[in-house]
A = this chain, B = another copy of it.
Amino acid sequence: MSAPAVPPATEPFYGAHQGGIITPAQKHTCFAAFDLVTASRSEVIALLQSWTIAAERLSRGQPAVAAADTQGPAADSGDVLELPPARLTITVGFGSGLFNQDGKDRFGLAAQRPAALVDMPAFPGDQLVAQWSGGDLSVQAGADDAQVAFHAVRLLAHLGEGTAQLRWVQNGFVADFGPNATVRNLMGFKDGTGNPAVADARLMDAHVWVGPEGPAWMQGGSYVLARRSRIALEHWDRMAVAFQEQTFGRQKRSGAPLGKKLETDPPDFDAMDADGNPLIPENAHVRLAHHLNNDGARILRRSYNYNNGANPVAERWPPWHQGLEYDAGLLFVCYQKDPRGGFIKIFTQMAKFDMMNQFVTNLSSSLFACPRGVQPGEYLGQHLFKPV
């Protein structure tokens, strides 16, 4: 048997697209955002160059910096020595602050800010915490091992010292439901059933990848939106399953749309019960989210559970309960060709009417332009800084 071209548990780094977008979701993610603390364009370029080299090495299970290139202290924290790369992918994105900040063209890139990299609106119900939102750069590490994912962010942060400063970090995980199964999130429902199939290149071109309509450096790239959505699990767990199913518009166990048998059955939004009421309620999650009810708009959801422990809470209404509430929920992550025709299009109605909103509080909103993938010798974002 000849040696495999790609070692096991390794995802390719080079390619037309960055890894971590249509890569089958790994079990763990460490999603970080950085603020640039330099005024120097060349320092930003040097940072992206060092991150590209490190990301490629890390994705092969190598230390972030080659031993021969180290000066001074340890080149790598060493906490993943002996560990396989665990399908590590590192996806880098550019926030609006890279292009302009408070009206200032910090790095001579203002004219190249894509129209699709909008300032995200705050939706009804959003409770956005500024320090957990935004950032000039994003790094999302995905791996089947939590230590490997965190290690990647930690090493890139280390390389960025003096140039980029951590702004926020959020870890996430999904459970292992098997190779072809849709995962259940903490609400106990299958999450991702309606996703466009990543194997369908036509769908990916239509909904995920930036095409000729975007700048050259974004062609083959995608826009990632991350929202930390706390779920009131304490309240959700008190609801009857029948109510939960009305909220989702799907059956809990099978994942099938209400009135259907299989998870993969398409929902029938016209189906009525004997009393003439819609089987899938007007304000059910699946109805409001579905592309048939959003002029065909679709996004690629790639969400993770998060669990930061628990926070003290004091309720402001009877019975004036005081205690802890879980600081847990969904690190909602989605990729799209253009957020204006993607998440923003879809969520505008959902924010107002989705029954699920009463159990979910969105605490952050962060949009990044993830540039096209790189070939050997290139660095991430090279075509933005040095247009060909």
A residues contacting B by CB (< 8 A) are 30, 32, 72-74, 76-83, 131, 145-148, 150, 154, 158, 165-171, 173-178, 181, 184-189, 233-234, 236-241, 244, 252-253, 305, 307-310, 312, 323-324, 326, 328
Contact B131 A175 (CB under 8 A): no
Nearest first, the 4 A-B pairs at minimum CB distance are: A78-B188, A147-B175, A166-B324, A79-B188
- 14 residue pairs A–B, Cβ–Cβ below 8 Å: A30-B307, A74-B188, A74-B237, A78-B184, A78-B253, A81-B188, A146-B146, A146-B175, A147-B186, A154-B237, A166-B324, A167-B324, A168-B310, A169-B309
Interchain CA distance A253-B81 in the complex, whole Å: 8
Q: With A74-B240, A131-B312 in contact, do A169 and B326 touch (Cβ < 8 Å)?
A: yes
B residues in contact with A187, CB < 8 Å: 77, 79
Question: Using Cβ atoms and an 8 Å threshold, which residues of chain B touch A166?
Answer: 310, 323-324
In the complex the two chains form, what is the Cα distance from A75 to B158 in whole Å?
46
- Name, among A146, A158, A234, A326, the residue most crowded by chain B CB atoms within 10 Å (CB to CB): A146
Cβ distance A47 to chain B, nearest Cβ, rounded Å:
16
Report chain B residues within 8 Å CB of A188: 74, 76-79, 81
How far apart sit A257 and B339, CA to CA, in the bound complex (Å)? 55
> Given A74-B239, A154-B233, A188-B77, A307 and B171 touching (CB < 8 A)?
yes
Taken together, the copies of this chain in the complex come to: 2
Contact residues in B for A32 (Cβ distance below 8 Å): 310
Once A83-B177, A237-B73, A328-B150 are accepted as A-B contacts, the answer to whether A171 and B309 lie under 8 Å apart by CB is yes
Are A165 and B324 touching (Cβ within 8 A)?
A: yes
Cα A83 to Cα B186 with chains together (Å): 13
- Picked from B80, B150, B175, the residue with its CB within 8 Å of the CB of A145 is B175
Hey, which chain B residues are within 8 Å of A310, CB to CB? Answer: 32, 166, 168-169
Smallest CB gap from A186: residue in B: B79
A237:B184 contact, CB within 8 angstroms? no
Chain B positions within 8 Å of A78 at CB level: 184, 188-189, 241, 252-253
Q: Are A145 and B233 in contact (CB under 8 A)?
A: no
| CB atoms of A240 and B309 under 8 A apart | no
* A309 to B238 alpha-carbon distance, docked (Å): 29
Residues in B whose Cβ lies below 8 Å from that of A158: 234, 237
Distance of A237 Cα from B74 Cα, bound (Å): 7
Whole-angstrom distance from the CB of A363 to the nearest CB of chain B?
Answer: 12
CB distance from A384 to the nearest CB of B (A): 26
Task: Contacts A32-B310, A74-B244, A168-B324 known; list 4 others, CB within 8 Å.
Answer: A73-B241, A74-B237, A79-B175, A80-B184
- Closest B residue to A171 by beta carbon equals B307
